[in-house]
Amino acid sequence: MFSLILTDVPVLVLPSTNPKFGDYQFNSAMAVSQALQKKGSKTPPRTVATKVMESVPQSDLIEKMEVAGAGYINVSLSRTYGVKRLSDVLLHGVLPPPPSPKRLRVVVDFSSPNIAKEMHVGHLRLAKSTIIGESIARLLEYLGHDVLRINHVGDWGTQFGMLIAHLQDKFPNYVKVSPPISDLQALYKESKKRFDEDEEFKKRAYSCVVKLQNGEPDYKKAWELICDVSRKEFQKVYDRLDITLIERGESFYQKRMESLVKRLEADYFIEDEGRKVMWGDEEMTDIPLTMVKSDGGFTYDTSDMAALLNRVEEEKGEWLIYVTDAGQFCQSLIKNLMCNATVVFEKHFVTLFKCATRCGILPKHVRIDHVGFGVVLGEDKKKFKTRSGETVRLVELLDEGFSTQLTLIILVYIRFTPSFNFPSFSGLCYMLAHNLIVSQSMPFQKSLLLNVKESLSPPPIFQQLLFSLPLHAN
C-alpha cells in the first residue's frame, strides 16, 4: 500500500531547522497518512513514520533516527563516519568510486533559458537550473555513467511572433542587412509593450508565428537572427561557468511533434472544446495535457512529450532527469505539509510522465525524475522578472564579483589574476547553496559575499584565495 501512496506524495527529507532535532527531518508522514485514509486505511502519522524508519537499512552514516511529534523522523548523522571520510580525503585525495553495477545512459535536462531574454541571477540557482543540473551531471559522470546534457531552450512560440513583427517595423531591410540587435532585452521589452497595448500588432504577431511555423524564408531568417544573438550571449555565461550543453530547443521537436500527434491521436486523444487533450488515466481524474490547440497549433505539452520520446527512442536514455523551476509551488508545499494538507508534487510533470507511460512512450525500464526547486527572489521577496527591467544580469554579477575581490584583496604580484575567476564563481555558487526547494531572497551585496558576517561559514572565495596565494606570490 505504501509503495502505491508514495508515487503520489512527495517524499521530503529536509535539513533540520534546529540542531536538537538532528541533521535532517522526514516530514511526509502526515501527507502519506491522509492519502492512506482516502483509500480507506486509517493509519496515524506516527505509525507511518515508524514503519518508514524501520524500513531504512542499517548504515554507518546514520548515528540515530527517532520519531518525534505528530510523525516527524529526526535523523542524526554520524560524526565519526564524517571525520573518517574527511580524513581519508585529506590523506589520499578523492578516490575514484567503485565501478557502477551498470553504466547508464543518463539525459539531464537543465538550464533552458528563453531566447531573447538575458540570463539573470535567477538562472544561476533557482529561476532556472544551470548550477543544479551541472552538479548532478558531474556527479553522475564521476560515478561512471554516460551523461547527456540537454539545454531545452525556449526558441519557439508566441514571443517570436511579436519579436519578428517588431523587427520588421524597426529594421524593414533585415533580410539583406543584418540589423544591430545586440540588445535583445530592449527589443523584447519594446515588442511586449506593443503586444499588450496594440490589438493590430497582436494580430500581426500571431500571423508571424504561423508563417514562421510554415517555414516562410523571411520569417525564418528573422528567427535565426534573434536566436543567434541570444545564443552567443548565453554561451558567454556557460563558458565562464565551465558548462557545456547540447542545445535542443523547442524548434528541434517541430517535425517530431507532427509525427507524435499522428501516432497518438487515434487511441489517446479526446476532443474538448476544439482542443485535443490527453489524460494520464482512463478515469480522467487529473488535469489533461493539451496536445493540439483549437487552431491546430501545438503546445508546450506537445513539445515536452516529443522531447521525452526523443530522449527514450533516439538518445536511448535509460535515466531521464528534469531540473526545472518549481516557482511558488515550493513554499506552498512546505506550508501544506506542516498543516497536514495533501499536496501533489509538480502536477505538470506527474501528468506528463503518466501520459507517457500510458501510451507506451515511457517504458518501465526507464527511470525518470523531476528535480524541482524554489526561485531566487529580490529583496522585496518577489521573483526576478525580465519584464520588470530591474533584474541583475548574471554576467554583470560575475563581473562585479571579480572586480570586488580585486578591490578587497590587494596583492603585489599581478600573476594571481587568472586564478580569480574560479574562486569568484565558486563563491557565488556557495552563496546559492541553500535548501533546494525553498525560495531564496538574495540581496545584491550578499550575492557578492561582501558581508561576511551574514554568511553561515567562511566564504569559499577567501578559502580559495588562501590556498592559491602561495602559488602566485613566489
540570463: which residue's cell? 119
Quick one: pLDDT at residue 134? Answer: 92
Q: Distance between CA 97 and CA 89 in Å, rounded?
A: 13
Task: In whole angstroms, give the CA distance from residue 472 to residue 336.
Answer: 53
Instruction: Give the model's confidence band at 3: pLDDT under 50 very low, under 70 low, under 90 confident, else very high.
Output: low
Running DSSP on this structure, what letter comes out for residue 282?
A: T
* CA distances, 292 to each of 142, 202, 275 (Å): 41, 21, 6
d(CA 29, CA 222): 54
178 or 59, higher pLDDT:
59
Q: In what order do the strands lie in the sheet with 146-151?
A: 246-247, 146-151, 105-109, 319-325, 367-373
Instruction: Answer for the pair 123, 394: CB distance below 8 angstroms, yes or no.
Output: yes
Q: Residue 279 pLDDT more than 60? A: yes
Of 413, 333, 450, nearest to 31 by C-alpha is 333
Distance CA 243, CA 133 (A): 10
At position 12, the amino acid (one-letter code) is L
**d(Cα 46, Cα 50) in Å, to the nearest integer?**
6
Exposed, middle or buried: residue 283 (CB in 10 Å: 0-12, 13-18, 19+)?
exposed
Look at residue 393 and give its three-state secondary structure.
strand
In the three-class reduction of DSSP (H, G, I as helix; E, B as strand; rest coil), residue 196 is classed as: helix
pLDDT in tens, 118-150: 555 554 544 467 888 999 999 999 888 999 999
CA neighbours closer than 13 Å in the CB half-sphere of residue 169:
13
Give this prediction's pTM: 0.72
pLDDT bracket for residue 88 (50, 70, 90) = confident
> What integer is the mean pLDDT of 256-269?
94
pLDDT tens digits, residue range 176-220?
Answer: 777 776 677 788 889 999 999 999 999 999 899 889 888 899 999
Helix axes of 45-55 and 29-38: crossing angle, nearest 10 degrees: 110
Those residues whose C-beta lies under 8 Å from the C-beta of residue 102, and which sit 6 or more positions away, are none
Q: How many CB atoms lie within 10 A of CB 70?
A: 14
Return the DSSP state at 152. -
Mean pLDDT computed over every residue of the chain? 78
Tens of pLDDT, residue by residue over 407-458, are 665 554 444 555 555 555 555 565 555 556 555 555 555 555 444 333 333 3
Please, what are the domains in the chain?
Answer: 2-87 (3.30.1360.70), 116-146+249-387 (no CATH), 157-245 (no CATH), 392-474 (no CATH)
Indicate the residue type of 5.
Answer: I
Q: Are 157 and 209 in contact (CB under 8 A)?
A: yes
CB 391 within 8 A of CB 385: yes
Q: Model confidence over 330-346: pLDDT tens digits?
A: 443 333 333 332 333 46
More confident residue, 391 or 2: 391
The enclosing H or E element of 303 equals helix 300-309
pLDDT of 401 over the 50 cut? yes
